[in-house]
Amino acid sequence: MLLWQQGFWLLKSPVSVDNSEENRMKEYTEYTDEELLELLRQGDTEVMDYLLEKYKFIVRQKARVLYLAGGEADDLIQEGMIGLFKAIRDYRGDKEASFYTFAQLCVDRQMYNAIQSSTRQKHQPLNSYISMNGEEWETQLGSKTEQSPETIIIAQENAVQMEEKIRKQLSTFENEVLTLYLDGNNYQQIGEKMNKSSKSIDNALQRIKGKVRESLGRKK
């Protein structure tokens, strides 16, 4: 279980979780996200841990996409978790967007801001990746995190366009590998599902990385 203390993510050992806490976590599954966030505002701090655990898959998935464009996976995951934390903290249910959609928006923005703040050469492909057809991702999201349906729809449409652009550059085999990779499978698991060697999968992902960067106008 993840805990946020003094600017650091801490892993709370499952051994220290008593039965009452386990039962409480099970109870959370019966609530909607919006109901859980209301409980959090009322002082039930365990909701934060539950929602961080529930939606960390969003962070991992988005980190995998940006990793293909040249990012550092661990750094991206850390920034993504901060974005998820901010989404839980800042979400207000009086807007039309669901928490799930808002969380995706916050994770995207946090990762983008981290990339933009870096001046290292190795992060430049990422700056291009999040630039959608010449329009900076930050412009799409605004200087502040917004929940307006219009802002979220624009962000989602741009992400879809970018994925379509990349996938058109890939072979059928590479597209299958990419789909399994983004679903969270490692090289060995992808190889087993496709009846291919891990080396073959590794080579495919290297080709995918090259085509991603090429489609973004960057040299390999």
Q: What confidence score (pLDDT) does residue 53 get?
A: 92
Residue 22, classed as helix, strand or coil, is: helix
Q: Is 164 within the bounds of a domain?
A: no
pLDDT above 90 for 191: yes
Q: Are residues 88 and 53 in the same domain?
A: yes
7 is a domain residue: no
Range 9-19 burial, b when 16+ CB lie within 10 A, else e: eeeeeeeeeee
Q: What is the pLDDT of residues 147-172, one digit of tens each?
A: 455 555 555 555 566 667 778 888 99
Residue 62, pLDDT > 90, answer no
Rounded Cα distance between 202 and 85, Å, is 33
Q: pLDDT by residue (tens digit) across 76-135?
A: 888 889 999 999 998 987 666 789 989 988 888 888 777 666 534 444 444 444 443 333
**Shared domain check, 134 and 182:** no
Of residues 212 and 46, the one with the higher pLDDT is 46
Contacts of 64 (CB under 8 A, 6+ apart): 73, 181, 182, 184
115, 147, 179: which is the final residue of a domain? 147
149 φ, ψ (degrees, to nearest 5)? -55, -35
Range 56-69 average pLDDT: 78
Of 86 and 137, the structure prediction assigns the larger pLDDT to 86
Residue 2 lies in a domain: no
Same domain, 38 and 138: yes
Q: Which residues pair with 4 in a beta bridge?
A: 9
Q: What is the count of structural domains for the chain?
A: 2
Choose between 202 and 16: higher pLDDT: 202
- The pLDDT score that the predictor gives to residue 123 is 44
Residues 139 and 184 in one domain: no
SS3 135: strand
Q: How confident is the model at residue 60 (pLDDT cuts 50, 70, 90)?
A: confident
Do both 118 and 180 map to the same domain?
A: no
Average pLDDT of the chain to the nearest whole number? 73
Give yes or no: residues 43 and 141 share one domain: yes
pLDDT at 48: 92
> pLDDT-derived band of residue 219, with 50, 70 and 90 as boundaries?
very low
Q: What is the pLDDT of residue 215?
A: 64
Which domain does 37 fall in, by range? 32-147
Q: Are residues 181 and 143 both part of a single domain?
A: no
d(CA 139, CA 131) in angstroms, rounded, equals 10
Domain membership flag for residue 162:
no
| Distance separating alpha carbons of residues 71 and 49, to the nearest angstrom | 27
Neighbouring CB atoms inside 10 A of 123's CB total 19
**Is there a domain that residue 207 lies in?**
yes
CATH of the domain at 102: 1.10.1740
In a shared domain, residues 208 and 139: no
* Domain identity same for 40 and 121: yes
Q: Output the pLDDT for position 160.
A: 61
Question: φ, ψ for residue 11 (rounded to 5)?
Answer: -95, 115
Partner residues linked to 8 by β-bridges: 5
**Residue among 137, 141, 161 nearest 215 (CA):** 161
How far, in Å, are 15, 33, 199, 206 from residue 123 at the CA level? 39, 34, 26, 17
Its pTM stands at 0.56
Identify the pLDDT of residue 105. Answer: 87
Do 52 and 139 belong to one domain? yes
Average pLDDT over residues 24-32: 86
- Kindly state whether residue 61 falls inside one of the protein's structural domains: yes
Strand extents, DSSP E, the chain: 2-5, 8-11, 131-132, 135-136
Region 43-55: mean pLDDT is: 92
Give yes or no: residues 81 and 115 share one domain. Answer: yes
| 186 and 96 assigned to the same domain | no
Predicted local distance difference test score (pLDDT) of residue 167: 81
